[in-house]
Amino acid sequence: MARLLILISLLPLATSLGLWQFFWAGKRRGWGSVKCSLTGRELAQLLAPAHELLVVRRVMPWPEKSSGLTFTAEQLEARDAASLGLIAQQVGVRLVMDARPDLEKRRRAVLRFGAIGPGFMVMIATLGALVGRIPLIWALLMVLGTVGFAAVLNLLSLAVELQGSGRARRLISERRMLARLSEEEAVVEAAAAAAWRQVVPAGIAWLLPGKGN
């Protein structure tokens, strides 16, 4: 019974990893080789001129309670299409949540659980197994079940990420923000794919190549 539950728990995670690899990770290098006429900072300011850009050392896995846009200095100075697509998608999500404030709290809760839940359950299950209170296979099931549940929540909240991508792509295309058509096409494609980064819970994403980025 426990083994069957373990297999069931692995399905959402396997699905998330497959989608992440297919839509984002497998194509990111190609977009990364396309150099653009704008920096990430310039693109963000064009997409959302009314929002403040906040420079942080590390972007939190869940959004801050702020109307500003948080990026690292490295992201804001980047000129490759992959980085610009990622910034565009995040700005697009911010614009979507401005129009739908009810989505922000829900999205933050999902991303926070995905970042904290797996690690917390690893700690609980490990302690339980070490003191002999929890059989090893059930400790493993607790961890995988938490990871699987986090993956399901991320998959269910994907609509917000896709809406953000769509919003950013429309703005970039309609306003012709980039100097060359090849740049625009690469950034728009990367922005569409960047939404799929969020299907993997942040508590697992840091284990992936490039830390899930």
The answer to whether 168 touches 32, Cβ cutoff 8 Å, is no
pLDDT in tens, 106-131: 898 999 999 999 999 999 999 998 98
Answer for the pair 157, 134: CB distance below 8 angstroms, yes or no. no
The answer to whether residue 3 sits within a structural domain is no
The domain total for the chain is: 1
Confidence of residue 68 (pLDDT cuts 50, 70, 90): confident
Distance CA 154, CA 200 (A): 7
- The answer as to whether 178 is a domain residue is yes
**DSSP code string of 38-62:** S-HHHHHHHH-TTSPEEE-SS--SS
With 60 as the cut, is the pLDDT of residue 211 above it? no
pLDDT at 77 over 60: yes
Residues spanned by the domain of 198: 15-203
**Dist. CA 83–CA 181, nearest whole Å:** 17
* Residue 100 is assigned to a structural domain of this protein: yes
- For residue 165, being part of any structural domain is answered with yes
pLDDT band at 213 (very low <50, low <70, confident <90, very high): low
Q: Is the pLDDT assigned to residue 163 strictly greater than 70? A: yes
pLDDT above 80 for 62: no
In a domain, 94, yes or no: yes
Assess if residue 173 is contained within a domain: yes
Residue 211 lies in a domain: no
Q: What whole-number percentage of the chain has pLDDT above 70?
A: 95
Dist. CA 18–CA 177, nearest whole Å = 32
Tokens 């090849």 belong to residue: 182
In a domain, 4, yes or no: no
Q: What is the mean pLDDT of residues 71-98?
A: 95
